[in-house]
A and B are shown apart, each in its own frame.
Chain A
Amino acid sequence: MTDIPIPHTWVLALSAALFAIGTLGVLLRRNGIAIFLSLELMLNSANLAFVAFAMTLAARPDGAEAALAGQLFVFFVIGVAAAEAAVGLALFIALHRLKGAIDVDRVNILRW
């Protein structure tokens, strides 16, 4: 199998698109789970961005270490995302217990 090189810019573009989609998701969806998904999407698109840049840097003659840094970052972000997911979902569960729904717009006692 020959490696089909993927242009680094494409990866970056993809990550940007995913990030935008994720952002819109957070802003436009009312369902808690949907918001969750969008958040995860955003974080992973960031991961993709790191990978994209790592690829770019790796292509440079002395860029091996630099590339490593980016890839390392990805692992940590994954871990953090997982922790966030745990916590966030716990909060949504608590909300559900209280209100019977996880419609974010109904969480509106505190305002003005």
Chain B
Amino acid sequence: MLGNLWLIPILCLAGAAANLALGMLRANKRLVSIVGVGSVGLATVTTFIALSEYLGQARDVIRETYFTWIAAGEFVVDASFQLDQLSAIMISFVTFVGFLIHVYSIGYMHGETDRGYARYFAYLNLFMFSMLVLVLGSNLPVLFIGWEGVGLCSYLLIGYYYEQEYCATAGKKAFIVNRIGDFGFLLAIFAAFAAFGTSEFLGLREAVAVDPGGVRAAATVIGLLLFVGAIGKSAQLPLYVWLPDAMAGPTPVSALIHAATMVTAGVYMVARTNFFYQASPAAMLTVAVVGGLTAVFAATIGLAQNDIKKVLAYSTVSQLGYMFLGAGVGAFIAAIFHVVTHAFFKACLFLGSGSVIHACGGEQDMRKMGGLRKHMPITYWTFVVATLAIAGIPLFAGFVSKDEILAKVFAAGAVDLNHFGSLYTLLWVLAVAGAFMTAFYMFRAVYMTFHGEFRGGHEAEHHLHESPPSMTLPLIILGALSVVGGILIGFPGQLFHRPELNRIEHFLHPVMAPLAAAHGEVANAGQAAHGVSLPTEWVLVITSVLVAVAGWMVARNFYVGDQAFAPARRLAERFPFVHKLLLNKYWVDELYDAVVVRPFFGLARFSWKVVDVVIIDTVFVNGSAFAVELTGDFLRFLQTGNVRNYALSVALGILVLAVVLW
């Protein structure tokens, strides 16, 4: 399998093409399911074979070059894949979680038309292809291809129900906002090439490692530009606005693309290019600040949302903020760890919500739900498990990874990383506050949806049922992973003097290895963690656990039992403005519309009506054409039709010619 890494994405691409064809032929759903799920399944199997081969051999990095893609003078880009520890982890969970979601889709989408069903799977397979290209690429341009591909598929799938206007609009919004980020990414590619002459990750790492202090300016520029791309793709402030709207797409799509995989591409990319950030404290701080602010900001919005998918959406934005926060203090490994665990529990949560929505006949407003645990036990328990994970309750998956991040952030503050220590400490405080809010709003969702009495009316109550096995099976698997996934991968052994138990830390170390510190500075907070004593670490762990439990208990108080909803209502009455602010998501979309979108439309209209129609078309194009035509109409009369005149012009011409040549 090694040597043929290309098979993994190509299998998915083949599935996409086949499904497109099948859709045009209006093949039945069973065939489409087999092709759609089978291709991803094969890709998963292939991945694991490749993985075992990789683990069984000694090399760290396996690079496969397929052909020279661009050769324009000195700018040479190969189409090549790279399998190292980081991409190995990524392809593993991308294919596996992707496979589970594909299986889930069989049940969820079975109500669609044959053509729509095939279209769905074709797009989903295409997405898998793009995502795999993204994580396997060995250089920035190939990564960018995957990056654009996932953006495209996101647009296609968000707008899957394109006949509904708000879905089409949401798709457009996603694509356009992403584009802004992509612009930064593209500039970064150019800058990287201009500064270092290569776009290959290995080559760039070497170039930076040679003299980290000397390339600081270039690294800052490139790092910031790359991060702009990440802000778009991974929905951070201020480009997060597309993600909540993206919930218009089918729920499995939300699970796969907008929770587990595509949105984490930004984090992956930052981790992949970690050397730039290590060489630039300013860039790293920016990442941390944006991540931290986003984490808190999104969490506050999540407190007041009533649509179950919107809660999960803002929760995703918030969790992504945590990942970037981790990256921003140099804890790239922790960030990736959180990517993996987040994939497990967030996918589980989304799929669970899909199950709920399915049962409620398409209803997504939690105020119309309630008491569902009686009717959908499997969904309930997996949802609870995943909530425990995201809230950060030990020893569930989310706890280990989130805790790792929080610890590293604190450590960065403690050792005054890059002289920004106070900022980092502030961010830690914000992060802890965010953890409280996360636990609160997630359990709020659990209680509103599954506990108490059903509030949706008698008609709907009769239709409540558990979902078919094709949907519950993935839920169970993901739920299980939410329980044990964390401790299996990265148990914080260092707390017990058994650092070797933190498998992921060791596995990923070669990829994120700290660069030689310049001027004795601690460039990487990964090292900084050693600057915090063991007792302090324990205190941090216990603090975060307490905070999480506190959030849980408050939610329980607010939403369970006879007094359910009353405390919340009172709070809302006491602080109406705050409530309105949160409910309307700080009116950010409206702000963007007024400040950005409308002026832009105005500019476009002006460019069209004035610049294009009047100036260019009328004056220049038509004007010059008119002038030429006028000249032509005038000149044509030189052709008198008289043969003697013709002879005359010949004679004169020769005469003049002779005179000139003389």
Q: Which residues of A contact B (CB under 8 A)?
A: 23, 26-28, 30, 104-105, 107-112
Contacts and interface: CB of A to CB of B under 8 A. Distances in A.
A27 B639 contact: no
A105 B639 CA distance: 14
A27 B652 CA distance: 11
Interface in B598-645: 636-637, 639-644
A23 B651 contact: yes
A105 B636 contact: no
A46 B639 CA distance: 29
Contacts, number: 27
B648 interface: yes
A104 B643 contact: yes
A108 B644 CA distance: 11
Contacts of A107: 643
B647 A110 contact: no
Nearest to A111: B641
Contacts of A27: 644, 647-648, 651
B644 A111 contact: no
27 contacts: A23-B651, A26-B644, A26-B647, A27-B644, A27-B647, A27-B648, A27-B651, A28-B644, A30-B644, A104-B642, A104-B643, A104-B644, A105-B642, A105-B644, A107-B643, A108-B641, A108-B642, A109-B641, A110-B641, A111-B639, A111-B640, A111-B641, A111-B642, A112-B636, A112-B637, A112-B639, A112-B641
Contacts of A28: 644
Contacts of A26: 644, 647
B620 to A, nearest CB: 29
Nearest to A29: B644
A20 to B, nearest CB: 10
A92 to B, nearest CB: 12
The 3 closest A-B pairs by CB, nearest first: A111-B641, A108-B641, A112-B636
A104 B643 CA distance: 7
Interface string B485-517: 000000000000000000000000000000000
Chain B's interface size range is 10 to 19
Contacts of B643: 104, 107
Contacts of B641: 108-112
A111 B646 CA distance: 11
B515 to A, nearest CB: 79
A27 B637 CA distance: 19
A26 B651 CA distance: 10
A8 to B, nearest CB: 22
A9 B641 CA distance: 39
A43 to B, nearest CB: 15
Nearest to B635: A112
Contacts of A109: 641
Given A27-B648, A104-B643, A111-B639, 17 more contacts: A23-B651, A26-B644, A26-B647, A27-B644, A30-B644, A104-B642, A104-B644, A105-B644, A108-B641, A108-B642, A109-B641, A110-B641, A111-B640, A111-B641, A111-B642, A112-B637, A112-B639
B638 to A, nearest CB: 9
Contacts of A110: 641
B325 to A, nearest CB: 79
B644 to A, nearest CB: 6
Contacts of A111: 639-642
B497 to A, nearest CB: 102
Nearest to B633: A112
A2 B639 CA distance: 56
B5 to A, nearest CB: 70
Nearest to B648: A27
Contacts of A112: 636-637, 639, 641
Contacts of B648: 27
Contacts of B647: 26-27
A53 B648 CA distance: 28
A109 B642 CA distance: 9
Nearest to B652: A27
Nearest to A30: B644
Contacts of B642: 104-105, 108, 111
A30 B647 CA distance: 12
Nearest to A39: B647
B614 to A, nearest CB: 35
A39 to B, nearest CB: 10
Contacts of A23: 651
A46 B644 CA distance: 21
A111 B500 CA distance: 97
